[in-house]
Amino acid sequence: MNPVRQSFNRAASSYDAVGDLQHQVATSLTAFIKTKLSANFDGHLLDAGCGTGYCLGQLVPSYPAAKFIAVDFAERMLQQLPTDLRALGINANLENLPVCTGKIDTYLSSLAWQWCDATRAAKEAARVLKPQGELFVATLVTGTFQELAHGLQACGLNPDQHLLRCTSRAQIQSALEAADIEVLTLSVTRITTWHTDFSALRRSIRGVGANHLPQQTTPALNRQTRMQLIEAYEGLRTARGLPLSYEVLTIHARKR
């Protein structure tokens, strides 16, 4: 099984408990979607990378006539969907959706595209969307985990071997345009989380399944290097704790 999928499967039962960042981003994205969809929206809405169903939980009550599809590549995430959630759950990859071409009116994805190839994800979104169908995506881009990157560099380590390698804002925009999806609005927001110590910081990453890299096997840190990393990171401590930053790209787009 894909190691990223395994990681999310393991995190599924505790995902909501440690998912403050995910909930913050999802709440903002779904609130934005509600400003764009009419109250009588009755089309098909796809949540690509639905996790435990947090986004759909914000949207389903507002659109009683809509049809909802929840897709996630971690089957245990789908098992955490609320039993009363009015959505069809599908275990699948965002780059290969088992959805008919031109079926979807609204495509939603919150913090899932960073695990995908942006070009393939954009092409697949374009395939399933109807002409003039709308796309709402929030994903991590370059600059995420910058404090960890600096700490690793201070220890003589290559951050690319230890951290998720996020796609740039420009690359994602280009991927959408190449897929014949017109970008209407695009913004990047930095969200910083705060942690009591380095162990708590690492748990926050592991707890949401983000400790495995899709590109390669991560070299393990020996005890001496880990202590050096912790010491370097402690230099960033403030009264709020140790910081960990995420660069969140939010896109609203429309298929041409």
**How does pLDDT run across 133-170, given as a tens digit for each residue?**
999 999 999 999 999 999 998 888 888 888 888 899 99
Could you tell me which residue, 14 or 39, shows the higher pLDDT? 39
Residue-level pLDDT at 132: 98
Residue-level pLDDT at 6: 53
Residue-level pLDDT at 70: 97
Q: Does residue 220 register a pLDDT over 90?
A: no
Residue-level pLDDT at 21: 87
User: Span 228-249, mean pLDDT?
Assistant: 94
Residue-level pLDDT at 102: 98
Percent of the chain at pLDDT exceeding 90? 71
Q: Does residue 230 register a pLDDT over 50?
A: yes
> For 17-26, 174-183, 236-245, which range has the lowest pLDDT when averaged over its residues?
17-26
pLDDT averaged over the chain? Answer: 89
Residue-level pLDDT at 8: 52
The CA–CA distances, whole Å, from 177 to 115, 131, 228, 246 equal 20, 14, 43, 25
Q: In 3-state terms, what secondary structure has residue 4?
A: helix
148 dihedral zone (left: phi>0; alpha: psi -120 to 50; beta): alpha
Contact call for residues 94 and 4 (beta carbons, < 8 A): no
The pair of structure tokens assigned to 11 is: 């995190």
Q: What is the largest CA-CA distance in the chain?
A: 60
The pair of structure tokens assigned to 19 is: 């998912």
pLDDT in tens, 16-68: 444 688 899 999 999 999 999 999 999 999 999 999 999 999 999 999 999 99
The CA–CA distances, whole Å, from 37 to 5, 32, 41, 63, 110 equal 32, 9, 6, 9, 17
Contact call for residues 117 and 87 (beta carbons, < 8 A): no
User: Span 163-188, mean pLDDT?
Assistant: 95
pLDDT in tens, 84-106: 999 999 999 999 999 999 999 99
Residue-level pLDDT at 214: 45
* Cα 251 to Cα 245: distance, rounded to the nearest angstrom: 19
Could you tell me which residue, 157 or 107, shows the higher pLDDT? 107
The CA–CA distances, whole Å, from 101 to 16, 105, 182, 216 equal 32, 11, 18, 32
Q: Helix, strand, coil % (nearest 5) of the chain? A: 40, 25, 35
β-partners of residue 251 are 137, 186
The pair of structure tokens assigned to 50 is: 């639905």
Residue-level pLDDT at 86: 94
String of DSSP letters for 185-208 = EEEEEEEEEEESSHHHHHHHHHTT
Residue-level pLDDT at 205: 81
Q: In 3-state terms, what secondary structure has residue 46?
A: strand
User: Span 183-199, mean pLDDT?
Assistant: 95
